[in-house]
Amino acid sequence: MLSQADDDFQSVFFELAGDLRIYMLLKLSIKPYRLSQLATDLNATMQESHRNINRLIDSKLVKKTGEGELLLTPYGEIIVSLIPNFNFPFKHKDYFQEHTLSNLPLKFIQRIGSLNNCEVVVGVMAVLQRWKAVYHNSQDYIKEVISQVPIDLIETIAERVNNNVKFCYIFPANVVIPKGRNELLKKLGWKNLVSKGIVERRMMDKTNIVTIFNEKESCISFPTLKGEPDLNIMFYSKDAAFHEWCEDFFDYEWARAKLFDESKLSPEI
């Protein structure tokens, strides 16, 4: 909550509100520029470029060196580094009319810009196919927090586990268990894989954010406004920052999850 003394804080949003100014800042985050170069790269006139760069200098976001080069101030670097956190929800504002981050810890919301470089996968079948591909492409490990167990994917997981791919997963107690799962796990020798430590599992009372990732690919899905998991649409990426966000979220959930107890799972349906 901002206090009366923080009234000037809003001025930074006025500076970021101009398209040309924000593009200037993004360009300067890559390398220093002379004003003429910056104007050319942004297809802007020298007059409007001069006016806007002076505003950024007056706001202490940009400074000019003795050689005439423009570069971000340390304060400007901080502000520009925060822009992606606005970009992700803005790009997906329609999605976030029907989905929520309300149960997500603030420390993850403050890094939401890490999810910027992603592909949106739409439709249950497309989501499950991408999910299967993440399993299939794994070489070192698979980690996931899931709300239901697609029986068609169990054998794909088992095939990877039998090739020494470590599998760690978190179920909610109310996870949707498909009919035939227990029999299939018995056939695949699942208990033996658990006892060897190549499969690790934990439980939570409830989960509504779904994430699946291997060492290179990651998926994340946020809950509906009712707090229910949604497998109709998922964000997918091979981006390192996206992967780190998913991995950190998994580690957070893993640390507070309980020991796995098969007897507490919902019956097969």
In this structure, the answer to whether residues 110 and 238 fall within a common structural domain is yes
The pTM of this model reads: 0.85
Task: List the pLDDT tens digit at each of the 269 positions of the chain.
Answer: 455 545 677 777 777 777 899 899 999 999 999 999 999 999 999 999 999 999 999 999 999 998 999 999 999 999 999 988 989 999 999 999 999 998 899 999 999 999 999 999 999 999 999 999 999 999 999 999 998 888 888 889 989 998 999 999 999 988 888 788 888 888 888 888 899 999 999 999 989 999 999 999 999 999 999 999 999 999 999 999 999 999 999 999 999 999 988 887 777 77
> Which structure tokens are listed for 127?
């989501």
Question: With contact defined as beta carbons under 8 Å apart, do 53 and 70 qualify?
Answer: yes
Q: Is residue 184 part of a domain?
A: yes
In this structure, the answer to whether residues 67 and 135 fall within a common structural domain is no
User: Rounded to an integer, what distance in angstroms lies between the CA atom of residue 190 and that of residue 254?
Assistant: 20
In this structure, the answer to whether residues 189 and 106 fall within a common structural domain is yes
What pairing do the DSSP bridges indicate for beta strands 210-213 and 141-145? antiparallel
Q: Among 42, 66, 83, give the residue marking a domain's end.
A: 83
In this structure, the answer to whether residues 61 and 190 fall within a common structural domain is no
